[in-house]
Structure 1
Amino acid sequence: MKSMLVFALFALACNFASAALVGANLPLGGAAGACPESDGENPVYLLDLKNRYVFYECSNGQPILMYCNDGLVFSPKNNTCDFPASRCGAFGPVGECPKEECDAPAFLRDAIDMSVMYMCVDGEAEERQCEEGLLFDPYREACFTEL
């Protein structure tokens, strides 16, 4: 079977369809926080509450949706998109939140309910629920219809 390349509008480049469209096909949760009313000297970036493949850049008090390139996730510590493995050590289905400071939140799946995840922030777990009918995949750090 031939692999097909597609143009990833958000990355302005060609890539395999499975990689190029990951962030665009996931549900959004909205910006984690509010933008300042006016732009400062340095840009302000906000996480999305559900989708780690996107982030928001504040412009004149409004959050503007931005997409990370193929398979990268937003790191609020560095205000850049980065590989998930370079962030923190809480990967895998079930575990404890890391105690060290991380570049971005780490995610864990609930031991019983696969539609529940925990977002680790500063060593503390915050429970999150996937939308109805979706299951959390800790390796892709997002909710999907199938794992």
Structure 2
Amino acid sequence: MYIFAVIATLMASSCSGSESPADSKNICVQRNGYLKVSGHCDSYVECKEFEAVQMMCPDGLHYDPSVQWPNYPCGYPSDVQCNDRGDAQPADPTSDCPHQYGFFPSPLTTPTDCGHYRQCVAGQPHEMLCPSGLAFNPSTSRCDWADLVSTCNVPEFLGFKCPPATYDESKVPVETNHKFEGHCYSFYSCSAGLPRLLSCDAGFAFDPAVARCVDADKVDCSRNRTEQPPLSIHLQPQDKASEKS
């Protein structure tokens, strides 16, 4: 929780606020809440005791009109789209980050190692990894299936290539499951020649003999190298529990 408290402090200090004109009580029809500002993607008004304060999200975050007061109302663009709400503030880049906050391509990424990405927090870069089997997609700023990332060499990245695609009588791709070497609880699922690395539910393991997940007690996992693929940890834009404390 310490790192979240630090992030909350950084972001609270980076949000700008200024008192609105004298008619602010007419703006705030509710005692406490948020109001969007027309023509701006990252500006909003916070009403506190019927008093309006003009606010702006930190660079790289957008105001989310669906957030209820007193929860923190700014989120990553991948979660909060501007659509027709106007423009965002000019970028405030650093030498390592194009915006103060956000998810961006990492210089560590290669066509055969596509899972790296960079998360920027207050202009500081944090190198991150997508969950196993997923690649960072710059067009969505999210971890995605590797075959949806055009710059990723999928067979080299996954270390696996699906057999030729087969189809049923209705020309629907037939899904087949395959062993993930060295892993007892994960497997490759192939559809139309596209591989997806999946995991069995808790208490189950992949049985190559039947090509599906079964009760883990029925599978010999003594030589398994790892129980679950490693997961990446995202630093959130705001520790909501501490924002209003």
Q: TM class, shorter-chain normalised? A: 0.3 to 0.5
Larger radius of gyration: 2
Structure having the larger proportion of residues in strand: 1
Report the TM-score, using the length of structure 2 for normalisation.
Answer: 0.24
Of Structure 1 and Structure 2, which has the larger fraction of its residues in helix?
A: 2
TM-score calculated relative to the size of structure 1:
0.36
